Structure formats: C-alpha cells, structure tokens
Chains A and B, each alone.
Chain A
C-alpha cells in the first residue's frame, strides 16, 4: 500500500487515460495495469457536444480514483482556475498540478508551480505537482504543504527513461516522508523498475503504454516491472563495487597452488 495524502492506495502504478487507439483498449489497458489512480483532464466542450459525458462514463465503469490534471496551463492563473474547475467537475480535492514553461520540452515552470501550489493548498487542495528533479524546487513544494511530489524522468512522451538518476536519488534521500512519484518520460518497463529500485513510491505513465503496439500487454509489463522494482528495493539491493568478487567459493579450488 502507498499513501497519497490520507488515502491508502493498493497500486504503485498511476496511469493516464489519453492517446489509446480506442476507448475499449483504454479500458482494457487500465484494467490490466492494475492501477487504482487514473489521470484525466478538462477540455472545452462544443455547444451540444457529449464527448465529455461519453468519456466520463468509460472512466466510471472502471471504478478507479481519478486524478485531474491542469495539462496545458502556462500561467499560475490558468492553473489555479483549471484546478478549481476540476474540483467542481470531478468532486475531488486532488489535482495533478502542471504549469508548463516551454512548448518543446514541456518543462515545468517551477517558479509558477510553487506559487500555484501554495495558493491551491491554502484553498484546501491536495496537490500532486509535476516538477523537475531539482532539490530546491522539491523542498519549496514540500514547504508549501505538498505531501506528494512528482519529478519527471525525462520530457513528457519522450520515452527516454531516467535522465538524471543521481538527482532523483538525492530527492529520495532528502525527502523520506514525501510520497515521491516519477512522472513523465518513462518508455520501457525497465525504466519503471529502475525508478522503483531507487525507492520511489510510485510511477505515473501514459504514452509508453498507450502508444505501444499492444497497449494491454504493455500495461501488464509495466505492472510486473513496478512490482519487481519495488520488491527489489524492499529486499535491499547490494551496492555496486569497482572490482570483481567471485561468487563460487575459492577454498577447495582444484589444481590450486599457493604462490611462493
């Protein structure tokens, strides 16, 4: 079990609901992933349009907890208003807070992020900030009251895996009481396992599953990788060494002679 604010959640894999080849595949992939938390967004509805209702029915059938995002927001004002609209629409105080600084890298605007998180927490929100791996930013977010922090592995949708391993490890070491989630940039199940082996509490991903040739099978692969990585972390990994160390006993080696 992993704690997100005051809720105990069974799965350490959080999954997105976008980019799947079809609504049916989205549902099957989410089920196969075992995820209990699914990210969703809010978008403009055309007059008389029912796309929102149709999508919402699919999500409700899954019986999952939703985590609305502020994807696409480029200012504190947009993000704060979008968060409030999400609370109205989805009836949850949870918000995946994104304030985006750059169109090409989708890099978080960390200054705006801290400002928006501070405003929203004072307003009763439980904020899941999407941030960089920068320790000073993570500290500011924790000081603002964020009990979940979600640094990127690499730019959203890039599938590059963990770019700054040492920085992510430092965040884990320095913020032992914060629920840490690697969000964005994971492309392969091994990337998710690596994040879990670093001691991260969970991973959040979307594109790597939705854009796989077989999203349902990939959802299973990520579920198993997250479980393997977490179990490995809990089992206690041995440290890396500079030189070889034989695993087979040396004593009793045949034909062995003491060097004179």
Chain B
C-alpha cells in the first residue's frame, strides 16, 4: 500500500508501525515516530496499525542550535 513516509510517497508491506520500522531497517536505534501528526510511543509500535494514505514521520537526534 501507498503511504507518505518522511514527506515522500512510498509503497510498503507493513501493516503496523513496528513492522514498518523493521521493513525500513530502523530498529535498535533512537527513533521517534509520528503517525498523522500524532506521536506513537515506542511501547505502542506493535499495536498501532498503518493504513494506506497515512502520513508517517520517522525522526532521529540531529545537530541543532
């Protein structure tokens, strides 16, 4: 299905946030996820469904001023 991932359209197989993170090889590190502008805490990645058309942001720590 087609989702918007970090601002770009992308075809994904995963149907949960946890599966999506595994599919993207984003595991084990420091990540925060927003699904349609709502934060999905790490403890809820398994239970949170990803649906076609969802807008997903995957963020990590970066330099800032």
Contact = CB atoms under 8 A, between A and B. Distances in A.
Interface of A: 16-20, 26, 39-45, 47-53, 55-56, 59, 68-69, 71, 77, 81, 84-90, 156, 206-207
Chain B contact residues (Cβ within 8 angstroms of A): what range?
20 to 34
Given A45-B6, A47-B24, A52-B31, 14 more contacts: A18-B63, A20-B63, A26-B63, A40-B63, A41-B61, A41-B62, A41-B63, A45-B60, A47-B26, A52-B30, A59-B61, A81-B39, A85-B33, A87-B39
Contacts of A68: 64
Contacts of A84: 34, 39
Contact of A69 (B38, B41, B64): B64
Contact of A16 (B7, B25, B64): B64
Given A56-B30, A85-B34, A89-B30, A48 B24 contact: yes
Contacts of A39: 64-65
Contacts of A53: 29-30, 60
13 contacts: A17-B64, A18-B64, A44-B59, A47-B24, A48-B26, A52-B59, A52-B62, A53-B60, A55-B60, A71-B64, A88-B41, A89-B30, A89-B60
A51 B38 CA distance: 24
Interface in B26-64: 26, 29-34, 37-39, 41-42, 57-64
A88 B39 contact: yes
Contact of B65 (A50, A51, A71, A86): A71
Given A56-B30, A89-B31, A89-B59, A44 B65 contact: no
A53 B29 CA distance: 6
Given A81-B37, A84-B39, A88-B32, A69 B65 contact: yes
Nearest to B38: A81
A88 B61 CA distance: 11
B56 to A, nearest CB: 10
B60 A52 contact: yes
A66 to B, nearest CB: 8
Contacts of B32: 42, 85-86, 88-89
A19 B37 contact: no
Nearest to A206: B65
Contacts of A43: 59-60, 62
B29 A52 contact: yes
B41 A207 contact: no
Contacts of A89: 30-32, 59-61
Contacts of B7: 44
A49 B31 CA distance: 11
